[in-house]
Amino acid sequence: MTTRMVIIGGGPAGNSCATTAARLGAEVVLIERDTIGGAAHLWDCIPSKAMIAAGNARSFVQRSMRMGLSEVATDVDLDQLRERLSTLEGRLEGQIRSLLASQQVQFAHGTGTLIDPHTVRATTADETIDFEADVIVLATGSRPRLPDWAPIDGVRVLTTRDAYPPPTLPEHLVVIGSGVTGVEFVHMFQSMGSEVTLIVSRQQVLPAKDPEVAAALEEDFLRRGVRLLKGARAVEIRREGDEVTVDCDDGRVVTGTHALLAIGSVPNSETLGLDRAGVHSEDGYVPVDVNLRSNIEHIYAAGDLSGRLPLSSVASIQGQKIAEHALGALSVSRRRVIDYDKASSAIFTEPEIADVGLAEADAFSEGRKVRVTKVPFAASAKAQINDDPRGFVKIVSDPATGVVLGGSIVGRHAAELISVIAVAVSNGLTVADIHESALVHPTLAEALREAAE
């Protein structure tokens, strides 16, 4: 008998689950209330990286003047930028829609809710359809956390979702939150020409990252004129005319023209009808087992809603794994369950930052013996050709076996280069495996070979 699967949410988790399940022979319905591609395409990964790409292009052109090119204008045209983001989003949505259609996934545009453990209702503007399901996948994602002390208006007091781009380019942006999202927005707007102040609640930006990596980013921010307000927590935002004032808990006050909040997210689950199907939740997240099943055997949760590593890349793999598990096809993949500790991640600042696996600082705090090798890009011919010697490659390995346990890269194209270490970490490769690979010269990747020596 054909398995009927109903998925709520068309982000990376829902889409990847839908296409994998359809390929494995299930009858799949995908319910999405907004845009296929999810928040990842509409608000998060794609527009933020497209804005960053524009800022990087501007910095690159400005730097190129040192490489013998004559001066060119680098003004930011917000209308053109807005148009580009919208074209990009439309194109990517079209690609996913065609992929889903080619796999015969039925698409229902509406809001999905659980009616009982085997029925999902899709409510559209003019009709209500009930779908019976053998397997239900909840992949409704998350949205920015909105504190009650911030008068968000989308004009001067912004969430990340109001920033693509905002109505006017901030003259002075105050960014609240110094995690991955916060520092990416600092970089984005500074490289477009805004003055930026970052409120850092701890003593280090990126508190969860390797201190050496965070220090490299802080150094770069300071060189670029970003003001860091450390050890301060924003408690109130006041808007007066064209000015926005942020009060901090230690009495410090910052006044800018705009404020942007990047203080985390909350899951989209309040209206899902979890209770009607008996699905447990904790703080709105749906706890899952290693196979991503909720407490109800045939109801799975994936992506940000599962409360695991909130990354688009992880959400996609989770979606795939759910389809394989639900359809009894886990043996088609080499790995049956996801090892979240081996997921790589990146921060698209400039220099870029990327890491995977065990960090040096974590090994140290766990009292674990590791070998750490570090090579600065300053020694790389390609970095010198690029006129950008910032950053380094660091590889953490087992001193007895040489097996690569983790690594961090700070520098240009770090998000691409980390893939080499990620493949090594996921597959138990050794430093010798990396060192003995003949890589292209001149490239930044050669620094990986050296760090693996």
Which residues contact ligand FAD by CB under 6 A? 8-14, 31-34, 38-40, 44-45, 48-49, 111-112, 139-142, 160, 181, 268, 272, 303-305, 310-313, 315
Tokens of 317: 């793999």
Q: What 3-state DSSP class applies to 160?
A: helix
- Residue 202 C-beta: closest distance to ligand FAD, Å: 20
Return the number of the residue (189 or 370) whose C-beta is nearest ligand FAD. Answer: 189
State the amino acid at position 405 in one-letter form. L
Of 39 and 425, CB closest to ligand FAD: 39
The least distance separating ligand FAD from the CB of residue 308, rounded to whole angstroms, comes to 10
Q: Is 183 exposed, middle or buried (0-12, 13-18, 19+ CB in 10 A)?
A: buried
Closer residue to ligand FAD (CB): 41 or 118: 41
Output 61 or 415, the one with its CB closest to ligand FAD: 415
Nearest to 360 by CA among 390, 393, 394: 394
Distance (Å, rounded) from C-alpha 378 to C-alpha 423? 25
Single-letter amino acid code for the residue at 114: L
- Reading the block at residue 237, the tokens are 């935002």
Distance in Å, CB of 16 to ligand FAD, minimum: 8
Side chain identity at residue 382, one-letter code: K
- Shortest Å, Cβ 319 to ligand FAD: 7
* Angle between helical axes of 180-191 and 211-223 (0-180°, round to 10): 20
The answer to whether the CB of 142 falls within 8 A of the CB of 67 is: no
Q: Using alpha carbons, list the distances in angstroms from residue 125 to 34, 114, 128.
A: 12, 18, 9
Minimum gap (Å) between residue 161 Cβ and ligand FAD = 8
Nearer residue to ligand FAD within complex by CB, 8 or 229: 8
Q: How far is the CB of 433 from ligand FAD (least distance, A)?
A: 26
Nearer to ligand FAD, 12 or 376 (CB): 12
Cα–Cα distance measured from residue 387 to residue 64, given in angstroms and rounded to the nearest whole number: 9
Q: Which residues pair with 352 in a beta bridge?
A: 411
Closer residue to ligand FAD in complex, CB, 267/376: 267
CB of 144 to ligand FAD, least distance (A): 7
| Residue-level length of the chain | 453
